[in-house]
């Protein structure tokens, strides 16, 4: 079933809420929405978990305001969802851009209510290179992406799909993937790209105390595997799970292994 949750005046967030049991809150990547996890939704419900799929502001069925695409506001939106649904001892699962937003939620709003953290192909601790950080895209490359989106968003998204996956997928699947991205607001897509380019979570990782699993594709061309290694090194109670045949979209490139590892992590007593 779907909920619309008021996060601020004139802004509602859409949330899919399926199954019962321990809640697992999924935060999607840029520029998708919670439907990107449709192959996990039934899996969780069948195995005694409650799937909570958040369409972040600007994406999917959520409202698409002009502003609020920084990580602080996105994390605050998540807090409103958690409070409204009265979620307790939930698992927080962030994919790509959803990864840093999950981290910011923990460090800004506390970890007492979170049982575990799952980071999947996370765009963290930083998505772009700095003078003292040489992993990931250069800021100018993100500026180029912004320019391409402003010129022809559908064409850019078609190319982005090619980068996203390592394995071959059907043309229909790639069309579906692009259709998810086209549900986003154009301005939302651009403003989130700015956040991805500029935000920095390096000082926040060591304070995360919940058991954490880091799923990352070895062949990820969007968030390099080295980011997963950095997260594993900096987050105290973490385990890194490499997906050797996957690009960025690990749940589609290695679906069976992804689902097995997901259930194994959810059912474990800790890391």
**Residue of 55, 63, 77, 96 marked active site:** 96
Contacts 24+ apart (CB under 8 A), 256-265: 258/215, 259/39, 259/40, 259/43, 261/213, 261/215, 262/40, 262/43, 262/118, 262/215, 263/43, 263/47, 265/116, 265/118, 265/213, 265/241
Does the annotation mark 238 as catalytic? Answer: no
Catalytic residue check, 96 = yes
CA atoms of 80 and 221, how far apart (whole Å): 33
Pick the catalytic residue from 14, 28, 216, 248.
Answer: 248
Element (H, E) at 98: helix 98-109
DSSP state of 206: G
Q: Under a CB-based contact definition with an 8 Å cutoff, are residues 76 and 172 in contact? A: no
Selected catalytic residue, list 77, 220, 232, 253: 220
Please say whether the beta carbons of 75 and 68 come within 8 A.
no
Q: Catalytic site residue 131?
A: no
Task: Write out the catalytic residue numbers.
Answer: 96, 220, 248
């Amino acid at each position: 079933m779907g909920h619309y949750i008021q996060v601020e005046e004139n802004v509602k967030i859409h949330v899919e809420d399926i199954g019962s049991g321990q809640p697992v809150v999924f935060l999607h990547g840029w520029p998708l929405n919670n439907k990107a996890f449709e192959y996990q939704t039934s899996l969780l419900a069948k195995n005694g978990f409650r799937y909570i799929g958040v369409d972040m502001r600007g994406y999917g069925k959520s409202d698409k305001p002009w502003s609020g695409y920084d990580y602080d506001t996105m994390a605050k939106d998540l807090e409103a969802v958690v409070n409204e649904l009265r979620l307790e001892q939930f698992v927080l699962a962030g994919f790509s851009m959803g990864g840093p937003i999950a981290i910011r939620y923990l460090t800004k709003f506390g970890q007492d209510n979170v049982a575990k953290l799952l980071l999947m192909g996370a765009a963290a601790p930083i998505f772009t290179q700095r003078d003292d950080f040489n992993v990931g895209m250069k800021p100018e490359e993100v500026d180029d992406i912004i320019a391409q989106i402003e010129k022809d968003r559908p064409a850019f998204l078609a190319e982005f799909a090619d980068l996203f996956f390592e394995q071959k997928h059907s043309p229909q699947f790639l069309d579906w993937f692009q259709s998810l991205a086209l549900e986003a607001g154009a301005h939302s897509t651009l403003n989130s790209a700015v956040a991805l380019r500029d935000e920095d979570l390096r000082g926040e990782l060591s304070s995360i105390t919940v058991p954490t699993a880091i799923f990352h594709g070895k062949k990820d061309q969007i968030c390099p595997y080295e980011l997963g290694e950095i997260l594993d090194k900096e987050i105290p109670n973490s385990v890194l799970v490499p997906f050797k045949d996957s690009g960025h979209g690990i749940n589609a490139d290695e679906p069976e292994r992804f689902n097995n590892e997901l259930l194994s992590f959810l059912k474990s007593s800790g890391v």
